[in-house]
Amino acid sequence: MIVMSAVTALVLLALVTQAGIVAVQRAFPPQGRMIEVEGAVLHVVDIGPRDAGLPIVMLHGASSNLEVMRHPLGDLLAKQHRVILIDRPGHGWSTRARRQDSTPDIQARMIDAALGKLGVDRAVFVVHSWSGALGARLALDHASRVAGLVMLAPVTHPWRGGVGRYNEIIATPVIGPLLAYTITLPLGYFVAKSGARNVFLPQTMPDGFVKESATPLLLRPREFIANAYDLVTLKEAVSAQAPRYGEIRVPVTIIAGEPDKTVKTDIHARPFAATVPNAKLIVLPDLGHMVQNAVPDLVKTEIETMIGKLAPAQAAAD
């Protein structure tokens, strides 16, 4: 009797999840174009003037999608610059061919291929959180594509501890998909807002952020599983690439906050800045993890300062 009740409950939750997937995807449809790379498809939103010099490529962190980089920072930059926002493989409306596509080196290769298809030879990359590791990998393995790198609260180095027991369970074969396709979406509706609010601390989460950032897309099973794999494989990935950071030659600007509890500045931003030859580090005493939301004008100024310094070299190359 207990077994039958449990099976019935799982079936009902699975049906609720499928209905929820349809509702979420209708509420947050794709906004850009799809580009095929390595058996997967990347969703790309291309905004702003095409003839405004070096384009800006924006890459979001974990548990999010390109809309997190678009509002307000991407829209602000697009008034004067070409801005290319990309859903990382497995996130938003991008797909991934294999679960192994969770690592920065593979995602860097896929993004490099997509930019090649867009005709973007070089760009300034703006990366947040998880994508700090991705931006570093792009600068290491695809240096000709990277004119400069602006890193916001970046992950760059291994840390003590894990990434949350629930992520580890979701990344486990059989049991992970079972949970993802039954309880994650219904439960997520109740905890998404509080989870997002905690990431903003000590800042206050803007009203309407969860909807504006299309955060509910994360609750879809295939994206939730992809996100979990990104997180559980990240420490090993940064451990492998960190010894190479001294090879990065492009200009790098890092903006981080002292009280950021999601990605600690002393573990990531400071050691990275100390290793990279041409790095500028800005640490603010009251800034949390969501740098692009908290200080968009400062980030815009730093991006444009970098572009201004790069412009003569870019003009000579053209």
The stretch 10-34 carries a mean pLDDT of 95
The structure's pTM equals: 0.96
Domain segments of the chain: what residues?
26-158+234-312
> For residue range 296-306, what is the model confidence (pLDDT) as tens digits?
999 999 999 99
pLDDT at 175 exceeding the cut of 90: yes
The closest of 134, 113, 46 to 86, measured between CA atoms, is 46
Q: What is the pLDDT of residues 203-224, one digit of tens each?
A: 999 999 999 999 999 999 999 9
CATH (residue range 26-158+234-312): 3.40.50.1820
End-to-end CA distance of the chain: 73
